[in-house]
Amino acid sequence: MTQSTRETERKYEVPDTGGFPTMAALSREGKGADGKSKDKSKDKGKKRARAESPGLSLVDGGAHDLDAVYYDTADLRLARSAATLRRRTGGPDAGWHLKLPLPGDDRDEIRAPLQDGVPERLRELALSRTRGARLQPVVRIRSRRSVRDLVDADGTVLAEVALDRVDADSLRPEGGHASWAELEVELASGHGDPALLDRVEKALGAEGFTRSRSASKLARALSETAADASGDSGAKSAPRTASRPRPGTAGAELHAYLTEQVRALVDLDPAVRRGLPDSVHRMRVACRRLRSCLRSYRSLVDREVTDPVRADLRWLGGELGAERDQEVLAQRLREAVDRLPGELVLGPVSARLQAWDVTKSAEARERSLAALSSPRYLALLDALDRIVADPPLRTGASKKAAKVLPKALGKEFDRLADRVDRALRTPAGPERDAALHEARKKAKRLRYAAEVARPALGKPAKRLSKSVKSVQKALGDHHDSVVARDALRRHAVAAHAAGEPGFTWGLLYGREQAAAEALEESLPKLWRAAARARPRKA
C-alpha cells in the first residue's frame, strides 16, 4: 500500500554562525519599531490583505535522528532525472519514499511502509527512469534534525522549518564522506500559501541564509562524496548531448521541442500508473506531439532512425487512447442524460451506462498498464533518449530556423487545406464523417508543427496555431458526436433486446446528430478565418 503527498519546499545554505534562524522579520511584518502599522500603500487591497496577515512566529517542533539509505541504478538514472528513492528510519514518516520532480518548488512524494527490499509499487513508478535496471544502495545519509513550526497568530501551522546536521557516506566503491548543515522550509499540507516561501526567503536572507545550489540531499551527497561521475547529479533531466545543433538553426528548435516532449513522456509515466486525473490524456498528447514533430520536419532528420520511433509512438498512443476515449465518451453520455428532464429518461438508462462504463474502463485501464510494462515501451524510451542525446539531423537542419520552418509549416497547411476541401465536397454521411476526422488529424499535426516553430517565428506561428485550433476543436466535437452516436445505437440495441424502452437512446441520438450537422455548417466559416493565417514563404 502506498500513500502520496505533494510537498513544496526550498533548501538553504546555513551561514557560518550555524544556528537556527530567528526569522524575526516575519514577526514584525507590517509594523514599525513602535508596533504600529507602517504600511503606506495606496493600494487598499494590499493593505487589507496585510492587515489580515499578522506577524508569524516559530514554535519548537522537537528533534529527530533520521537515517536514510538512497537507492539508484549503477549509472544513477534516478538522480539524473531529479528523482530520489530512499528507505528512511526515524522521524514521524519512516518508510520508503519515492520523490518525483514537479514544476517549481513542488515534488510528488509516494510513500510505502518499511520493508527489506524496494517495494514493487515504487519500482514500477520509477520504471520510466530506471528502464528496469537494478536498484542498489548508493548513499547513506544521517541527519540530526531540529524542527520549528512557523505558525500564525491563531496557532495554525503554515510551514515546517528544519535545520539538518548531515553526515553522508557513499556506498559506492569510489565514494567517501561529507558533512554539512542545511535548512529546509516546507509548506504545511492544506495551509501553506506558496507566496509564503518568498516572504520566508526574504527573512532568511536578512540572516545570511542563501538558496542551496543542490536540488536535494542526495544530489549534494553524490557530488561531495565524489560518487557521481557526471559531476551534476542535481540538475533536472538534461540528457548529455553528443552534438547539439547551433542556436538559431532549425535543428536547434527541433531538438529543444523533442527534448521537452521526451521529458514530459517520462515524467507522466508514474502519474498514468497511479491513475491521476488527465494523466493519460497528457501522455497521449506527448506521443502525438513527438510523432507530429518527427513527421512534419522529416526532411531535417534521418528517417531510418526516426520512422521506427514514429511507428512505436503511434502504437503507444493507440494503447493509451482506449482509456482516454472511454473516459471522454462516458462523460459525454452521462452529461447528455443529466441534461434531460426526468420525464424523458425512460428505463434504467443511467444504470446501463454505469455498468457499461465500469466494464469498458477496466478493460482500457488494463490495456494502458500492459503497454507501460512492455519491452516495446521501454525500448521506445531508450530510442527517444538516443535521439535527444545525439539528434540524427540532416544537412538542412543547420540552416536558419526562420528560413526552414515556414516552408515546413506551409506544406502542412496545404495538406490540411486539401483534407478540409475534400471533406466539404463529400456528401453527408459516413464518408464525410471519415473525411472530417482525417482533416482533424491534419489540423493537430499543423498545430504541433507551429509549436515547434513558435520560439523562432513568434507571432505568426502563434496566430496560425490559434486559428487552426478553432478548426480542430470543431472537428474534434464532430468526431466525438460520431463516436457517441455509434455508442448510443449499440445501447439502444442492447436495451431493446432486454425489453427496455428505447425512447431515451433515440432522443440522445437525434440530439447528437443535430449537433454534428450544426458543426458541419459552421466549418466553412471557421476554415476561411484559419486560411488567412497561412504561413508566408520566407
Profile the chain (538 residues) by mean pLDDT over runs of 10 residues.
85 90 76 47 42 72 95 95 95 93 87 95 97 96 95 90 96 90 91 84 93 90 71 40 79 96 96 95 96 96 97 97 96 97 96 97 97 97 96 95 93 95 94 96 95 93 91 96 97 96 97 96 92 74
Q: Report the alpha-carbon distance of residue 294 to residue 303 in Å, rounded.
A: 9
Strand 3-13 to 95-101 pairing: unpaired
Picking from 217, 526, 106, 508, the residue whose alpha carbon sits closest to that of residue 347 is 508
* pLDDT on residue 48: 38
The residues near 496 (Cβ < 8 Å, ≥ 6 apart) are: 502
- How far apart CA 403 and CA 248 sit, in angstroms, is 10
Residue 11 near residue 212 (C-beta atoms within 8 A): yes
| pLDDT at residue 28, as a whole number | 67
Helix residue ranges per DSSP H, 339-429: 349-372, 375-389, 401-425
Question: Which has the closest alpha carbon to 469: 529, 510, 524?
Answer: 529
Element (H, E) at 128: helix 127-130
| Cell of residue 26, nine digits | 516575519
Alpha-carbon gap, residue 38 to 202, rounded angstroms? 18
Place of cell 471519415: 434
Name the region of 95 (left: φ>0; alpha: ψ -120 to 50; beta: rest): left
Alpha-carbon distance values, 207 to 197, 202, 210 (Å) = 15, 9, 9
User: How many helices (H) and strands (E) in the chain?
Assistant: 16, 9
pLDDT at 175: 80
Q: Residue 91, by phi and psi: left (phi above 0), alpha (psi -120 to 50) or beta?
A: left
Rounded to an integer, what distance in angstroms lies between the CA atom of residue 38 and that of residue 31?
5
Q: What is the pLDDT of residue 29?
A: 58
d(CA 98, CA 477) in angstroms, rounded, equals: 39
CA dihedral 363, 369, 373, 376 (to 10 degrees): 70
Backbone phi, psi, residue 74, to 5° = -60, -35
What is residue 509's predicted lDDT score, i.e. its pLDDT? 97
Long-range (24+ apart) CB contacts under 8 A made by 310-319 are 312/376, 312/379, 312/380, 312/383, 313/287, 313/288, 313/380, 314/287, 315/371, 315/376, 316/287, 316/371, 316/377, 316/380, 317/284, 317/287, 317/288, 317/291, 319/367, 319/368, 319/370, 319/371
